[in-house]
Amino acid sequence: MRRIIGLRAVAAAALASLLGAGLVPTAATAAEGTVTTLYDYETGDSTHIQWGAAGAGIQPVAEAGTGSWSDTEPNERVLSYGFDLTADPFFGGVGYEFTGGAPAQDWSAYDGVQFWMHSDGADATIQVEILDAVSGSSAVHDRWDVDVPLGAAGWRLVQLPFSAFSYGTDYQDSGAPADGTLDLDFVRGLLFPAVSGKATIKLDEVSLYAGADVAPSIGVTTTSLSVTEGEDAVIPVRLSAASASEVTVSVSTEDGSAVAGTDYTAVTETLTLAAGEQDAQITIPTTGDDVAEGNRSFAVVLSDASGATLGASRAEILIRDDDEVAAGELSLLTDVVEDFEAELVLGDPAAVPPLGWFSAQGAGNVPTFERSVDAGRPGAGSDNDVLALSMNTASWAVVIDTFTEDGSSWQTQDWSDARGVGFWMRGSNSGAPMFVDLLDNRNPDSTVDDAERFSVRFVDDWSGWRFVELPFADFTRKNIGNGAPDDGLTLTEMHGFGIGVEQTSPAVTADIAIDDITLVGASDANRPVVINTARAIFTVAEGEDAEVTVRLTRAADADVTVDFTTEEATDRTSTEDPSATADRDYVTTSGTVTIPAGERDATITVPTIADGKAEVDETFLVRLSNPVGAELNPLALARVSIVDADPAIPGIIDDFEKGTAGLDPVGAATLSTREIAETDADAYADQDRWDNVLDVTVGGDGTGGFGRTFPEPRDMSDQAGLGFWFQGQGDGGEVTVRVQDGEPVAAASEDWELRWSDEFDAAAGTPADPRYWTYETGGWGWGNDELQYYTDSTDNAAHDGEGNMVITTRAVEDPAAAGLECWYGDCEYTSARLVTEDKLEVKHGRIEARAQMPDGEAGIWPAIWSLGNDFREVGWPRTGEIDIMEFVGKLPEEIFGTIHGPGYSGGQAYGNTYDFGENLGGQWLTFSVEWEEGEIRWYVQRDGGEEILFHTATPEDVAPSDWVYEHPFFLIMNMAVGGNFGGPLADTLTFPQELKVDYIRVFQGPDTAERFETTFVDDEAGWRFVELPFEAFDRAAEQPDGAADDGFGRTAVTGYEILVEGTDAAADAAPFAAADGAVSVDRVQTLAEISDPTPGPGDGDGDGGPGDGDGDGSTPGTGSGSTPGTGTGTGTGTGSGTGSGDLAVTGGGNGLVGAMIAALLLLLGAVLVRRKVGRA
């Protein structure tokens, strides 16, 4: 059965009409026809789950004080459900999930859900949510919901037709089908999330209803069951509703790895339920023995139902072997860390940091742990205490001990003398995938849990006690996004230990016990002395000396020396900083450092350089080499982050320190940047120790220059004008400065037009267009423990000559010889990551990309996505992340669309998937994000198919967390290998793998900004500071279609241009270092005020021009007069007049005409303030 459900608004209107029609009255009668009760609570048992700020339990009606909702057959028990969404964590609920061994339910013959609810009259709302899967074996589902206000105090019958439910927009699980239909053939759960308020309500008789008779169905109530060998397997069978006549069903068994007659007793029978009965059971004996032979399985199958339809018809039975396997030989036990003989110090997981024993888990999971007596461990006394744990794999769960003696402070332990860690474990043979986490060192002066995690996996696949030994060499770093150090497993400052389970479907429960957590392995005398940096990342304030500590794993008997040298960080590192520049940001340093005998630490000092520039933090490296008296850690490399605190120049727009990134050449201009030092003859006044300036060369007689379009409008209404340093040719050419002003006109998404694109049409083998794309390089794991090294080679990203950019991921043939450093050692894979940071930034609009997916095999992970342009300042996830497309090879039928922000990042991000139901490897798809203020929409379209909207995000979806998507973002495309999301690599994954991108396009509303401009004359070679008052700008003659004509308001400036006239390079005689024919610009900025006109060099004789009159010079001269002067004079018959200081131009005697000309010149808008040029 398929119910096609439209928009949420339709469902809301339908529910409103139902409420208006009285179908959810304060007191109502039950639905006529068929009512099938799911939960009535009369047994006192409930299988509900609960989460967040909510809880529930069975309560007698007499205790509840609510009275019965039924006068004829009073109910004795109800489910009491309380919630408080006014306090952290601001969400919660209760409900039922039909997962694990519980089969999906078929509700397709019914009309809706009903239940009795007692309200306490609070102003609060709950939701009723159906989990709808596409098949009985599907591990994911869609969520369909409807809001139910509590209403007046008292009992009422709530009846909700399925037509009132709409596709949930507040939350969907990752991988949800998003098929737009509430099928009801495979229902995986019924939930009652709280929506708002604080209340305690009672629920009873949760049921399905139909207006007509619905035939009952018969089936097993669990699809998977495990028993210990020798026990009976008891499989419950249930009729959905009692029948007035007898119901029968055939029962048989099928061998799997278990064999009938050897491992269990085969059954072939007919099961009969008499009239009025609903429950029965099938009992199958299993065979016990004393042989350790592993687990075996068989199946129980129902068929040929009579008097009812057939429901869930198959149950898999696992026979667990209870015969213990020998524990095996033990390594040298050197130190017992925890024997559980003393009371546990219990920690609060909400504390910062949590100290002692506590649990952490995913949604719907509640692991338990307690000390208990168990003498069964080999060598244990009769009163031996162990830690008993129960953890279900419905979601991840972990029990952690953060080392403390009294719960008030962290006490670290030094495990560096051991080879590994071990513990006794009483396995339950649950098959649960388990892990052990080590909590290593933290950042200096940390007050939070930022301990670096290292993890190893194993499986609960045995029964009884066994000693588990885990060498430290088997542990790998686990990135949990807590800002941990990244300096390897040092073991010298261990902060804790954890044991947990990973999520599985179906879920299983590991009921285990552990005892005697013990350090094992080589003694101190046999361990090599290894030298490394004490941390992966050090920080230093700009201008101060950086101190980098080097450390031995243990003190040596003799002095240890090691060489060091500083390096520029040409790759991105875990600091996420751009590279610092040698001898500009830090002093190039090298040498040898000595760690005296008996000590473990020494310090390397590197001076950094204060430059006065406001810039983001920058990183350089300190590399160790050539140790004497110790072994060198393969990752002996420190990253030093120079923290900048210089204030920005007020009003700065461009200082060209990032080269020409983001600048648009105009006309026939060529743009380049160069560095000048303050001691150079070519320096300008007030510059920093080193400054990058922009050179603009325009050949021939044309006009050209550069411009910048702002990704979002800037308010300059409180500023007086524009200023910049200008190094001219002195050739008399005209310089035009143009400003684009005007709020973008609001346009519906269907009216957006193409504003930018890269069609990737370049020649085969050429790199990405450097105007737009930067190759980011490095192998630091990229925050997800990824395995690839990103290169800038066309082997990994290049045009294919067929209109595509191809990102190619390759396996490294000889990692040791390749010389590529990854976080785990020599890099095994290479790939590419292209970003538009500082070159192209987008705010709002439609971002569209067409791409061909690589093979759909586990371990490959391509993406097209974006990060906020304030990433360097505020970091991730505060900057925001919009994932336009992710394709994860381990889920090859699905496409992901996601946002990450503060409070909802990583595994808790807000996203959705679209499942195409087939492997998308090698297929072409078009991905789009439509991004408007307050809403982002995701679309996907397979070539030849329809465009599908599969996800929407709004501020309400992430509340109370911040919505951080109303600022510009830059684009990224990459292909990762492995990592926390990509997962382990499949054996079938081959290399190379290719992500082909046909195009990336940005559509936005049309450019309707009004253009305003002014000019000045390049009449002097050399540097000067130009100040242009905004009041001098006039509306330009050429305007884009739709431009307003409402004046130069400057509340929404969208860009600027500076244009110069072409120069003859051969005739260039300018006395400075710019390229022939070039002019130079630096520090484009807004000015809060305009300086008074000041005299130029040489006391300012004006260029009044020759008088064209005879005799007394009474006719005005015709020169330009564009430079202020201070003299006054009269023209002669051939008349070389002089201008006055206020720009009057006169040939003598005629002051009125001179004043008129001066006013005309002022309208040209240039106030040129000449400042000191060069240095003495």
C-alpha distances (whole Å) from 540 to each of 97, 420, 481, 495, 937 are: 52, 35, 23, 26, 42
The upper half-sphere exposure of residue 414, i.e. CA atoms within 13 Å in the direction of its Cβ, equals 6
Q: What is the Cα–Cα distance from 3 to 16, expressed in whole angstroms?
A: 20
886 is catalytic: yes
C-alpha distances (whole Å) from 748 to each of 712, 828, 968 are: 18, 48, 19
Q: What is the Cα–Cα distance from 67 to 58, expressed in whole angstroms?
A: 15
881 is catalytic: yes
- Residue whose structure tokens are 């292209």: 834
The separation between CA 573 and the C-alpha centre of its own chain, rounded to angstroms, equals: 18
Question: Active-site residue among 97, 776, 886, 1027?
Answer: 886
| Residues in a beta bridge with 359 | 399
Structure letter (DSSP) for residue 164: G
Contact by Cβ (8 Å): 902, 868 = no
- Please state whether beta strands 969-977 and 833-835 pair in parallel, antiparallel, or not at all (unpaired): antiparallel
Q: What is the Cα–Cα distance from 701 to 1065, expressed in whole angstroms?
A: 11
Question: Which strands form 309-310's sheet, in the order they lie side by side?
Answer: 279-285, 232-239, 217-220, 309-310
For Cα atoms 36, 42, 44, give the angle at the middle one, nearest 5 degrees: 130
CB-based contacts of 541: which residues, under 8 Å, 6+ apart? 608, 642, 643, 645
C-alpha distances (whole Å) from 819 to each of 568, 613, 632, 810, 814 are: 17, 35, 17, 15, 9
CB-based contacts of 515: which residues, under 8 Å, 6+ apart? 339, 340, 374, 377, 380, 384, 385, 386, 387, 423, 424, 425, 426
Contact by Cβ (8 Å): 1030, 717 = no
Nearest C-alpha neighbor of 995 from the set 848, 1151, 832, 879: 832
Contact by Cβ (8 Å): 257, 299 = no
Q: What is the Cα–Cα distance from 78 to 58, expressed in whole angstroms?
A: 6
Q: What is the Cα–Cα distance from 1155 to 908, expressed in whole angstroms?
A: 71
The upper half-sphere exposure of residue 1108, i.e. CA atoms within 13 Å in the direction of its Cβ, equals 4
Q: What is the Cα–Cα distance from 900 to 909, expressed in whole angstroms?
A: 5
Question: Active-site residue among 776, 848, 881, 1057?
Answer: 881
Nearest C-alpha neighbor of 178 from the set 186, 167, 163: 167
Nearest C-alpha neighbor of 150 from the set 195, 192, 181, 119: 119
**H-type helices in 304-371, by residue range?**
none
Question: Which strands form 631-632's sheet, in the order they lie side by side?
Answer: 601-607, 545-552, 530-533, 631-632
Q: What is the Cα–Cα distance from 949 to 8, expressed in whole angstroms?
A: 14
907: helix, strand or coil: helix
Q: From the CB of residue 1163, how many other CB atoms can be counted at a distance below 10 Å? A: 9
- Please state whether beta strands 224-228 and 314-320 pair in parallel, antiparallel, or not at all (unpaired): parallel
- Side chain identity at residue 13, one-letter code: A
Contact by Cβ (8 Å): 876, 963 = no
Contact by Cβ (8 Å): 358, 537 = no
> Annotated catalytic sites, by residue?
881, 886
